[in-house]
Chains A and B, each alone.
Chain A
């Protein structure tokens, strides 16, 4: 139900499409990584982006965030082309975006509190009192009450991910990009992070892309799955459809089978 409600809003161009990727190509040192990725996400939709390691999932996320520029093709966020935006217009668009990096990307010279407060201190005119209240509320939401005075190096990987999530969500982004949020976490912490993402998605209604290898747990919380292979989206659809796919490649990946079209040698 919530997902339908989340998608109800329309984008700036009148359509319900929030993110549109059109025939995206990108090479590094002559090696093509993205070879024509096309994908569209409706407003409020949560998509799982799956695929083998090193096949361009994180690169795709960085293009969506405007951190990388494509060789050709376009990334449209709410109708705006990320590759041509510059200056304040790009900054404004980025402010609508949250990005949970694989390692959290917390500022290691700041405490958890300072990290989470940082976007508010720098981008708003909120009073110290109001910021404190918001930060404590956000930390409580991600289960980090009591850890606010600790430095990133003093907390576990799971707590770092949650702190990073709190820092991203405090600006109430319309789009959230999650780059392997459960990597390096034990199954309990990993599951807790996914549950947290699900809860927050239900509550805040952001449009999200979740890069992950946690196939089965993630499939329970997303609306749609896209399978990226050899620089292209090879398959996409609702989780049930992907799980039941007859495509040998998709089936091998989803089931984690050694035998199949992809050789492990």
Chain B
């Protein structure tokens, strides 16, 4: 798997990049994941607002609801949940698509045309995930903060100025950068694992529909676990 990633990174750095495939994959991984990110982001923010309010209320610190919601989202929940959602929605489809291309000889056909399958299949997915994940994470964070605002300010009575004012006091750029680095690394993990599992469908998972199904399951499980494990190590390094 390490060699696979090294090859993918190598072809990312050596032009040409297949721009039309890249745009298509940005649309698929990024744009088409937007609805699920809007939904999960807003409800995650709302539940954070609700839980945070009642927890902080015990200590008389409801004023800190804004920073609590924002820091939880920006540093942790935004990148992680976005990564998990994109894995489930787009990563699984990438594995299935490449896996079907493998078992139906389409990848061999590309190779025999003298074309490099990495340039056509892997590089566009890796670059698209690198571009889409931070943007989706930013959307997740913003709608999450607004979800927390609706619950905390509109329903539970925290002052609007307090919610955003304390947020501005406690959230600085280094925390935003932490979330950005995490989302970038999760983009690499998703593209790497999901493309790898698709590319070697048949070799590691058995051929036919069952092989594709097994590869897809393995990709989603492995990618999700790796995101959570890597998240722990990144957090421990960044603190």
Tell whether, in the assembled complex, residue B109 and residue A95 are in contact, meaning their CB atoms are under 8 Å apart.
Answer: no
Residues of B within 8 A of A102 (CB): 105
State how many angstroms separate the Cβ of B62 from the closest Cβ of chain A: 53
**Is the C-beta of A204 less than 8 angstroms from some C-beta in chain B?**
no
Expressed in whole angstroms, the Cα–Cα distance for A91 and B117 within the complex equals: 12
**Is the C-beta of B108 less than 8 angstroms from some C-beta in chain A?**
yes
How many residues on the A side are at the interface (Cβ–Cβ under 8 A)? 22
How many residue pairs bridge A and B at CB < 8 Å?
45
**Is the C-beta of B113 less than 8 angstroms from some C-beta in chain A?**
yes
Interface residues of B in 68-125 (CB under 8 A from A): 100-101, 104-106, 108-109, 111-115
Tell whether, in the assembled complex, residue A103 and residue B113 are in contact, meaning their CB atoms are under 8 Å apart.
Answer: no
Type the 1/0 row for A235-264, where 1 means its CB is closer than 8 Å to any CB of B. Answer: 000000000000000000000000000000
State how many angstroms separate the Cβ of A109 from the closest Cβ of chain B: 8
**Is the C-beta of A86 less than 8 angstroms from some C-beta in chain B?**
no
Tell whether, in the assembled complex, residue B114 and residue A67 are in contact, meaning their CB atoms are under 8 Å apart.
Answer: no
**Is the C-beta of A191 less than 8 angstroms from some C-beta in chain B?**
no
State how many angstroms separate the Cβ of A98 from the closest Cβ of chain B: 8
How many residues on the B side are at the interface (Cβ–Cβ under 8 A)? 12
Tell whether, in the assembled complex, residue A94 and residue B114 are in contact, meaning their CB atoms are under 8 Å apart.
Answer: yes
Q: Which residue of B lies closest to A167 (CB)?
A: B109
Expressed in whole angstroms, the Cα–Cα distance for A94 and B114 within the complex equals: 6
Check A92/B114 contact, CB under 8 A, given A103-B104, A105-B104: yes
Tell whether, in the assembled complex, residue B105 and residue A95 are in contact, meaning their CB atoms are under 8 Å apart.
Answer: no
Pick the contact of B111: A94, A103, A123 (CB < 8 A). Answer: A94
Expressed in whole angstroms, the Cα–Cα distance for A103 and B106 within the complex equals: 10
State how many angstroms separate the Cβ of B24 from the closest Cβ of chain A: 9
Tell whether, in the assembled complex, residue B109 and residue A105 are in contact, meaning their CB atoms are under 8 Å apart.
Answer: yes
Tell whether, in the assembled complex, residue A101 and residue B109 are in contact, meaning their CB atoms are under 8 Å apart.
Answer: yes
State how many angstroms separate the Cβ of A188 from the closest Cβ of chain B: 25
> Of residues B112, B113, B115, which shows the largest number of chain A Cβ atoms within 10 Å of its Cβ?
B112
Q: Which residue of B lies closest to A97 (CB)?
A: B112
Type the 1/0 row for A91-124, where 1 means its CB is closer than 8 Å to any CB of B. Answer: 1101101110111011110000000001100110
Interface residues of B in 104-150 (CB under 8 A from A): 104-106, 108-109, 111-115
Tell whether, in the assembled complex, residue B114 and residue A108 are in contact, meaning their CB atoms are under 8 Å apart.
Answer: no
Tell whether, in the assembled complex, residue B114 and residue A123 are in contact, meaning their CB atoms are under 8 Å apart.
Answer: yes
**Is the C-beta of A169 less than 8 angstroms from some C-beta in chain B?**
no
**Is the C-beta of A65 less than 8 angstroms from some C-beta in chain B?**
yes
Residues of B within 8 A of A97 (CB): 112
Q: Which residue of A lies closest to B111 (CB)?
A: A67
Tell whether, in the assembled complex, residue A122 and residue B115 are in contact, meaning their CB atoms are under 8 Å apart.
Answer: yes
Residues of B within 8 A of A92 (CB): 114
Tell whether, in the assembled complex, residue B105 and residue A101 are in contact, meaning their CB atoms are under 8 Å apart.
Answer: yes
Expressed in whole angstroms, the Cα–Cα distance for A123 and B112 within the complex equals: 12
Chain B positions within 8 Å of A, measured between CB atoms, are 100-101, 104-106, 108-109, 111-115
6 contacts between A and B (CB under 8 A): A67-B111, A103-B104, A103-B105, A105-B108, A118-B113, A171-B113
